[in-house]
Copies of this chain bind each other. A is one copy, B any other.
Amino acid sequence: MYGIFSYDIGLPRLGYRHHNAVLDLEVVALLGFFNDLDIDTSVFAQPSLNAFMALGRTVHRQVGQRVRDLLADSEATLLRVHDQVLLPLERVTMHLPVQIGNYTDFYAGIHHAENVGKLFRPNAEPLLPNYRHLPVAYHGRASSIVVSGTPIHRPAGPFLGPDQQPVFGPTQALDLELELGLIIGKANRQGEPVPVAEAEDYIFGVALFNDWSARDIQRWEYQPLGPFLGKNFASSLAAWVVPFDELEPFRTAGPIQEPTLLPYLQSSKPSHFDLNLEVWLQTGDLPPQRISHTNTQHLYWSFAQMIAHHTISGCNLCVGDVLATGTISGTQRDSYGSLLELSWNGARPLTLADSSTRTFLHDGDTITLRGFGQTDGHQLTLGDVSGTIQPNT
């Protein structure tokens, strides 16, 4: 996994995560280990992954292989040369890994969409008519995306009070959303859509993503143009980005998609992934408690379909864009990706280990999203994303 780290007085730069250590790629480059790769090694001294991502998949594979070779060398040639090249995680500060130009949030978790429909439109079909025809998405706020570990200030805003009159105050319905973020590593030209068969080439990698939401603010504001203040105060991105190639062992067919899709969304290749995802809540002196576990297979739409759809209008993706999947929920009550669903909008609050309950998040609560893949002979751990709720003051 790649990330941006700093330590002591050094500037932020690229690191490669190796167990609980960070390989300093700027130093590795300075020591000459990439000299034969014909790349501009200044990309490793940058404060974001963007320049490295823009070098393309071939270079990423070469660098990844070289780094794995170096780390696998039992003689630790590298470490003998320079004892500061592999740094313990606890010594470094992590930064937002990507300079994010644009952020798009999809709604590809079909069970989440169904649950939201059941909660808010109880007398209608849970899924709106367009849901199985196109990957619904909206543009989100890029500027307020923060790196894992950044405190999350409880936002204030307008919402409807008990008497259905607008009131102002700190949100009373602060929620998490369990999502996966696709980090775009390749740009398309405006006016030139990306075919679904080529769409995965545009993904540099993936990172867990928590799209914090203020449900009361969102509910009052969102008609007719979608969420705004209810989402734009903060989203949290993992510090570590997993290169897309590393998802390959976990590729799977995904759900049957009916009715038949328009051709621009049709793909014969298995384009879904089998990654386990978890939500952990920690509060007070209690140990962290897992409150949900689900899987990316519950996404109705594949990553490739999201990209093909996003660009079919001619919209241009840029290196550093984040495309998030939307909330990923399973079919069971303990597999939902938001507190809105886990508590069924307050009808059945969660009970924590100290017998306190949660409908939405309290100040001081820490939410951590975890992810891992496990299949015959392959194991993959995604970088966590966590955030602690700060009071609105």
A389 at the interface (CB under 8 A from B): no
A255 at the interface (CB under 8 A from B): no
Contact with B along A284-316 (1 / 0, CB 8 A): 000000000000000000000000011011111
Of all chain B residues, the one with the shortest Cβ separation from A107 is B225
- For this chain, the copies found in one complex come to 2
Q: Is the CB of A130 within 8 A of B313?
A: no
> For chain A residues 125-176, which have a beta carbon within 8 Å of chain B?
128, 130, 133-134, 136-144, 146, 153, 155-158, 166-168
29 contacts between A and B (CB under 8 A): A101-B101, A101-B142, A116-B224, A128-B223, A128-B224, A133-B158, A134-B158, A136-B225, A138-B139, A139-B141, A153-B190, A153-B191, A155-B313, A156-B312, A156-B313, A156-B314, A157-B312, A158-B262, A168-B264, A190-B233, A190-B234, A214-B313, A222-B224, A225-B226, A226-B227, A229-B315, A232-B315, A233-B314, A234-B314
A317 at the interface (CB under 8 A from B): yes
Residues of B within 8 A of A264 (CB): 168
Q: Is the CB of A217 within 8 A of B313?
A: yes
Task: Report the bound CA distance from A321 to B102 in whole Å.
Answer: 12
With contacts A102-B143, A166-B262, A190-B144 known, is A313 near B225, CB below 8 A?
Answer: no
Of all chain B residues, the one with the shortest Cβ separation from A229 is B313
Task: Report the bound CA distance from A287 to B373 in whole Å.
Answer: 64
Task: Report the bound CA distance from A214 to B222 in whole Å.
Answer: 21
Residues of B within 8 A of A230 (CB): 313
With contacts A138-B139, A223-B128 known, is A233 near B315, CB below 8 A?
Answer: yes
With contacts A130-B223, A138-B228 known, is A157 near B313, CB below 8 A?
Answer: yes
Task: Report the bound CA distance from A381 to B73 in whole Å.
Answer: 69
A263 at the interface (CB under 8 A from B): yes
Q: Is the CB of A225 within 8 A of B227?
A: yes
Task: Report the bound CA distance from A291 to B116 in whole Å.
Answer: 43
Of all chain B residues, the one with the shortest Cβ separation from A166 is B133
A7 at the interface (CB under 8 A from B): no
Task: Report the bound CA distance from A102 to B145 in whole Å.
Answer: 12
Residues of B within 8 A of A116 (CB): 224
Q: Is the CB of A321 within 8 A of B153?
A: no
Task: Report the bound CA distance from A180 to B4 in whole Å.
Answer: 38
The listed residue with most B CB atoms (<10 A of its CB), out of A107, A229, A314, is A314
Residues of B within 8 A of A313 (CB): 155-157, 214, 217, 229-230, 232-233
Task: Report the bound CA distance from A263 to B214 in whole Å.
Answer: 20
Residues of B within 8 A of A168 (CB): 262-264
Task: Report the bound CA distance from A147 to B138 in whole Å.
Answer: 24
Residues of B within 8 A of A156 (CB): 193, 312-314
A318 at the interface (CB under 8 A from B): yes
Closest 7 CB pairs of A and B: A226-B226, A138-B225, A233-B313, A155-B313, A229-B313, A232-B315, A153-B191
Q: Is the CB of A143 within 8 A of B229?
A: no
Q: Is the CB of B141 within 8 A of A138?
A: no
Task: Report the bound CA distance from A102 to B313 in whole Å.
Answer: 20
Task: Report the bound CA distance from A102 to B158 in whole Å.
Answer: 23
Of all chain B residues, the one with the shortest Cβ separation from A315 is B232
Q: Is the CB of A221 within 8 A of B101?
A: no
> For chain A residues 307-352, which have a beta carbon within 8 Å of chain B?
309-310, 312-318, 321
Of all chain B residues, the one with the shortest Cβ separation from A263 is B168
Q: Is the CB of A221 within 8 A of B143?
A: no
